[in-house]
Amino acid sequence: MKKILLLLLTLIFVVCMVGCADNNEKVENSTLDIVTSFYPMYVATANIVDGAEGVTLKNLASPEVGCLHDYQLTTNDMITLENAEVFIINGGGMESFLDKATSAYPDLKVINASEEIFEGSSNYDDDGHLHSSEHKENSHVWVSISLHIKQIERICEELKTCDSKNAEIYEKNKSEYIKKLEELKEEMQTEIAKLENRNIVTFHEAFEYFADEFDLNVVAVIEREPGTSPSAGELAEIIEKISNGNADAIFTEPQYSKTAATTIATETGILLYELDPIVSGTLNKDAYIDKMKNNLEVLMEALKNE
């Protein structure tokens, strides 16, 4: 009887030890699996989580996709989200597929990087959609360095609440990255302030907030939505504005067709240049700053004082 009791106690002890070992292993091997919706959210988050222990970061849309206009979730996207704990989005209507994702995975924590930008602003409607001066929906807030900094602050604070063990490194990374962005903004404002020519034509509304930040005047937009070519009347109107001396340069974007812009340039004799809205490229931490610096070089060349 004593031998049987001793054997039972031994078995219980072994089971408990195995259970504890399994639990410890789970804790030690636990990860925070983060998915970002598209390129600018990935680059921002990569800077925040750099060096954080137990964190994985993936991007949902291919870096070649660009803006998520009319983007449809694929089977692989759904699998990626199924394995995620945190989903970081731009917000403002950019991720039109969000309802489908949250319906499929109701426990998925969604961090809306622009939530605090949208709230309490007269530029937003009741659905939280950001609008331009012409009251068109515009969610391209990351193209403004100042607004992008607010997005980064939001992402950091939300990550700290769901991953306290890495809170210190998130805060440190955020502060260091924002310092770089503030220096970049100051450099760009100083250089662009030297320009006398300020009137530009842009490909689509991605650069409205960029123009606001650097005191540029967007006199015309070629395509209100990428893929929606301007009508003959709209083309004629843009050509007339440029012909009357109301624009100094036309800016296309590397992600989209230059057909309409080329037609306008041919009719007016104005030169084409390329600004990058930072929606595609290599997945590296320095991409946003590098692309903004390149945009500055393009602007200085296109609008140089003569």
Q: Give the pTM.
A: 0.83
Q: What is the DSSP string of 17-81?
A: HHHHHHHHHHHHH--EEEEESSHHHHHHHHHHHTT-TTEEEEESS-TTS-S-TT----HHHHHHH
Give the span between the Cα atoms of 269 and 271, in whole angstroms.
6
Backbone angles phi, psi at 220, to 5 degrees: -160, 150
Nearest to 276 by CA among 266, 264, 263, 289: 289
- The per-residue pLDDT for range 1-23, each reduced to its tens digit, is 545 544 544 544 444 444 444 43
Judge whether 179 lies within some domain: yes
Cα dist. 114→107, 130, 151, 294 in Å? Answer: 21, 10, 6, 25
Eight-state DSSP code of residue 125: -
Judge whether 251 lies within some domain: yes
Domain end: 184, 206, 234, which one?
Answer: 184
Q: Which of 13-27, 78-92, 194-208 has maximum average pLDDT?
A: 78-92
Judge whether 264 lies within some domain: yes
Judge whether 144 lies within some domain: yes
Sheet strand arrangement including 249-252 = 217-221, 199-202, 249-252, 272-274
* Statement to judge: residues 140 and 212 lie in one domain: no
- The per-residue pLDDT for range 92-150, each reduced to its tens digit, is 999 999 999 999 999 999 999 999 887 755 444 444 444 434 434 689 999 999 999 99
* Statement to judge: residues 161 and 228 lie in one domain: no
Backbone angles phi, psi at 291, to 5 degrees: -70, -35
Is the pLDDT at 235 greater than 60? The verdict is yes
Domain end: 167, 184, 201, which one?
Answer: 184
Residues 6+ positions from 269 with CB-CB distance below 8 Å = none
Domain end: 184, 208, 242, which one?
Answer: 184
- Residue 69 belongs to domain with CATH number: 3.40.50.1980
